[in-house]
Structure 1
Amino acid sequence: MGILDSLLGNASESDAQSLQQELTRVLGAGEQIQKAYAIFRDQLIFTNKRLILVNKQGVTGKKVEYLSVPYRSIERFSMETTGHFDLEAELKIWVRGQVEPLGFTFRNDTSIYDVYRTLGEHAL
């Protein structure tokens, strides 16, 4: 159900070991990927040192933006779960120096709880 979940906007956990090899040019010395989640083509990657947000752009997804957020720069974060009529859950992360939070939309509560828990484990 991973491909279907990704297409619907549900976060699915990615294989950290394969991403470790894929991102060797991006990761610092001694940096290890601990958890990763895919949302459609984008990814939230939790390492032992920072949060990496991967934004694949364009039709083919060949152009990629990597945003590194050191855990110490995360000021606060919030989660809004789904309701009866609002079927989308939202995660917001406020980063020091930015006025607007980084926002992510999920289609169900199950995956947002996993991401929120992982964010709490690393940022607190």
Structure 2
Amino acid sequence: MIDFKSGAIFKLKANEEYRHTVDRLLVQGETVVGSFKGIRDGVVFTDKRIIAVNVQGITGKKRDFSSLPYSKVVAFSVETAGTFDLDAELELWFSGLGKVKFEFTGQTDIAEISRLIAGFVL
């Protein structure tokens, strides 16, 4: 489960590994629009929610899937990458839960992610 009190951070890079891992969790008509992976953990954006994949244990076979529906997002913030700070950030505040922070490394198009979130939240 995501630790909302500390504003959990995931450092992510575009990766398709978890796209197929969450297929069995999707509701009818729900589609994946983006998939990202950190060292072990990952995040999948769908057209209805964000699914955070938390890999647990030594073998990594145990996984926690946290479903974060866009309908519960009350605010969000995007920070683009800079010259020396190459990570882009997305912060989301969820009603009744708290804040989650995602850090994106590499060539992630944070503007596209911002448009995606805005389209579902606003």
Q: RMSD in angstroms over aligned alpha carbons?
A: 2.7
C-alpha displacement of 1:47: 2.9
What is the TM-score normalised by the length of structure 2?
0.70
Measure the CA separation in 2 of the matches of 1:78 and 1:26. 27
- Give ranges in structure 2 of 5+ residues lacking alignment: 1-10
Partner of 1:112: 110
What is the one-letter code of the residue matched to 1:32? E
2:33 pairs with 1:44? no
Instruction: Flag the structure with more relative contact order, 1 or 2, with Cα contacts below 8 A and sequence separation at least 6.
Output: 2
1:82–1:109 CA contact under 8 A, matched in 2: no
What is the TM-score normalised by the length of structure 1?
0.69
Extract structure 1 runs of 4+ deviating beyond 3 A.
22-25, 108-111
Measure the CA separation in 2 of the matches of 1:34 and 1:67. 15
Partner of 1:86: 85
Measure the CA separation in 2 of the matches of 1:32 and 1:108. 27
- Give ranges in structure 1 of 5+ residues lacking alignment: 1-8
**% identity of equivalent residues:** 35
Measure the CA separation in 2 of the matches of 1:56 and 1:92. 21
Which protein has the bigger helix share? 1
